[in-house]
Amino acid sequence: MKDLESDIVELETIRETTGDRGYIEILKEKKMALANLLDVKVQGALVRSRFLNTNEMDAPTSFFFGLEKNNGQRQVIHSLLSGTGQEITEPSQIRRRAVSFYSTLYTSEYEEGETLSKGFCNGLPKVSEEANSQLEGPLTIQELQTALQVMQGRRAPGIDGLSVEFNRAYWDVLSNDLLDVFNESLASGSMPVSCRRAVITLLPKKGNLQDIKDC
């Protein structure tokens, strides 16, 4: 992008100083290429910043990139209190504190046992062999598209921040690759690491926001 900007400035200078109109077409092509790059960059920022009123955008400006940056900063925990009440600001210490707190908070009280599992499964209805064969068969494009259409909008199913609307809009481009990914996952019994990760945004409560219990 910087090379294009430099070329445009140079061509503008040549045209103004020499009056040579032979550079006009080249200049137009360079400006069009730069506009396309800016549009792609802005669309990415819009998706990540969750800016919905794209019709209000007259031209790529720093506002949208600032909006994306500000949204990201608001979702960052800059400091926490340790278990002993000491302020911690190092990202690694903040992560350890959060992991420790939520691991304890969400520890399951369920104790797995073979007898309990068998007792729970007794009497449950079973699918037929034909239905089981269909359920275990490869996924189809139509199945993926149906699932996508019933998903709630304005949500990003992955950590890349790409929304449901994005996947719907570019379904013709993405569908075959997604089908390969999900069928490979079905065959291997495991989703890709990126699909097994989640980002949870904590909603601040009233009180001391350095205390993780109030996050």
Residue 185, pLDDT score? 95
| Residue 85 forms part of a structural domain | no
Domain end position, chosen among 74, 103, 123: 74
| Residue 159 forms part of a structural domain | yes
Residue 8, pLDDT score? 66
CA dist 8 and 14 (Å) reads 10
| Residue 79 forms part of a structural domain | no
Residue 39, pLDDT score? 62
Domain end position, chosen among 41, 58, 74: 74
Total number of domains constituting the chain: 2
**C-alpha to C-alpha distances, 105 to 27, 81, 92, 116, 198, nearest whole angstrom:** 61, 17, 20, 24, 18
| Residue 178 forms part of a structural domain | yes
Domain range for residue 161? 136-215
Taking the alpha carbons at both ends of the chain, their separation in whole angstroms is 41
* Degrees, nearest 5: CA angle 158-159-163: 50
| Residue 140 and residue 215 share a domain | yes
Each residue's pLDDT tens digit in the chain (215 positions)? 667 667 767 766 666 665 556 666 776 777 777 666 666 565 565 555 554 444 444 445 555 555 555 555 667 788 999 989 999 999 899 999 999 999 888 887 777 776 777 777 788 888 899 999 888 899 999 999 999 999 988 877 777 778 899 899 999 999 999 999 999 999 999 998 888 887 777 777 788 888 988 76
Contacts of residues 184-189 at CB distance under 8 Å and 24 or more positions apart, as own/partner, are 186/138, 186/139
Residue 207, pLDDT score? 82
| Residue 214 and residue 141 share a domain | yes
Residue 58, pLDDT score? 45
Site of tokens 């549009």:
39
User: Are 166 and 178 within 8 A, CB to CB?
Assistant: no
Residue 27, pLDDT score? 67
Domain end position, chosen among 74, 93, 127: 74
| Residue 122 forms part of a structural domain | no
Query: Which residues does 181 contact at the CB level (< 8 Å), separation at least 6?
Result: 192
User: Are 88 and 82 within 8 A, CB to CB?
Assistant: yes
CA 161 to mean position of chain CA atoms: 2
Rounded to two decimals, the pTM is 0.50
| Residue 116 forms part of a structural domain | no
| Residue 195 forms part of a structural domain | yes
| Residue 129 forms part of a structural domain | no
Element spanning 159, H or E: none
User: Are 183 and 141 within 8 A, CB to CB?
Assistant: no
Residue 52, pLDDT score? 44
Residue 158, pLDDT score? 77
